[in-house]
Structure 1
């Protein structure tokens, strides 16, 4: 009797991403989602830049050719609105056809996302009413004055309200887009994309967006080497004193410089790193919960369950089941 090969697993359904680019769009804000949601063999995304016409003027002094019109916005699974520079972004004068397309998309269940000052567009369409939201720290007072029904979050990288998400200034859009990939496809896929972008694999949304030194240079005063050391020793006990000793400074100096570089505390950063490694191990290995807990430095399966419940509102078992294909 001939051997019959088992059927191939069904392909993941296509996830359609529409990036709404209006005149005055910031090129970097647009290119971030275009790059992260670019079609890859391991991801289901198809991305289209949509606009009012065939071309869109950017603040960079050049124009872009769109791949689709407003008719593709309501049919998208995720709609992303990049930011605009002050004086050029649409606010209360949002064109009726743009407002209608955004509202129709939301009514049909699309996930709505803004990057930087793109929050003004979602707010002008009435899609942020009664929700928490954020935007670039330079324009957050203006957003609060213009739309008093919003609850403004000032010291965050992004705000996740389920199917409506907003990011803070510019590069925080990278954190938000990777957060969406992590939600859709898991930490392992998000980390692979982050490595390809040479970006940090995860920055928690609750970190402060305004950091005096948001980009640190590798050098004698940078703590990047200590953070890299910690990431390679997550299975070991790591204390603040150990981190400070590795950096060659006092614990007090280390705390101050670490917060200035990352916008969070060393221990919170370390916990996020441990949880990130745990998520990737749950997705990519068959290790037991005890093995995963030890490998990421959380200790026991009970501690792993506790931190998953607190941080992710789920259990390690449920998380593995969700992202195991």
Structure 2
């Protein structure tokens, strides 16, 4: 009887623990052209954390306006909410995108207002990859440390001299602001937040469930022409054109592309892309 009592008491204690733990509400911002893994990686981390903690996390997506949002690879996602409908949120995740998309959003006053608006109403704002540009443009990173995709690290430092860019890391934690390096580093940043909210045991269970080995420090690879992705940006998709064998000549100038698909799109209508320069 005593053994049964102890078992029942144990499970009752576990249930009480989860019941007393506040639910962490996570909103992932969606916008046209965002990098798919920037969104999917953190969302998966928090979703698995919700399963392991029996509802200790709520994850939802939010967009600027109603309707399906198409990612960089044209994968359609139906957001749960628009910004006007967004419920109370603890963590706001802002994915990155190719630089052509980011440059456009940096000029978007609505995006800047949105980020500033939620700076004080959420506990943590986390950017993934080039999403750091959007936080910096809104003034959230002034006089702080931050990181971003290694391809554009030097450009980021030049664009925002008041920000201390940290290299060779997967994420930077400044308390209410977390910035991560490129793409999959968003998983590390999200796991770090799960550890902050739920402890290293839960974070470890999530990582094992994803068959992922998290780490904070990492020696960055060297970009082919330095860490200024803009100088080698594909005019069509905005990605860095690594392969210098994929290019097209137009009006006496050479343009590089990430692959044959973008090169073909450019050649079909060069005037559509040249004005971006």
Q: Give the TM-score normalised by the residue count of structure 1.
A: 0.59
Q: CA deviation at 1:81?
A: 0.5
Structure 1 portions without partners, runs of 5+: 213-325
SS in structure 1 at match of 2:81: coil
- Alpha-carbon distance between aligned partners in 2 of 1:91 and 1:156, rounded to the nearest angstrom: 27
Closer/same/farther in 2, CA of residues 84 and 92 from structure 1, 3 Å limit: closer
Q: Of 70, 73, 88, which residue of structure 2 is paired with 1:75?
A: 88
Q: CA deviation at 1:91?
A: 5.5
Structure 2 portions without partners, runs of 5+: 224-277
Closer/same/farther in 2, CA of residues 152 and 74 from structure 1, 3 Å limit: farther
Q: How many residues align?
A: 207
SS in structure 1 at match of 2:209: helix
Structure with the larger strand share: 2
The corresponding residue for 2:174 is 161
Structure 1 residues 76-155: aligned runs within 5 Å? 76-90=89-103, 93-155=106-168
SS in structure 2 at match of 1:40: helix
**2:36 is the alignment partner of 1:27:** yes
The corresponding residue for 2:199 is 186
**2:46 is the alignment partner of 1:46:** no
Q: CA deviation at 1:36?
A: 0.6
Q: Give the TM-score normalised by the residue count of structure 2.
A: 0.68
Q: Of 31, 41, 46, which residue of structure 2 is paired with 1:37?
A: 46
CA RMSD of aligned residues (A): 2.4
- Alpha-carbon distance between aligned partners in 2 of 1:32 and 1:73, rounded to the nearest angstrom: 21
Residues 34-83 of structure 1: CA deviation (Å, up to 9, x unaligned): 11111315151111111112221211123221111113558310011011
Asked if structure 2 preserves the Cα contact closer than 8 Å seen for 1:14 and 1:44, the reply is yes
The corresponding residue for 1:246 is none
Q: CA deviation at 1:194?
A: 0.7
The runs of at least 4 aligned residues of structure 1 exceeding 4 Å deviation read 5-8
**2:75 is the alignment partner of 1:62:** yes
The corresponding residue for 1:283 is none
Name the structure, 1 or 2, with higher relative contact order (CA <8 Å, separation 6+): 2
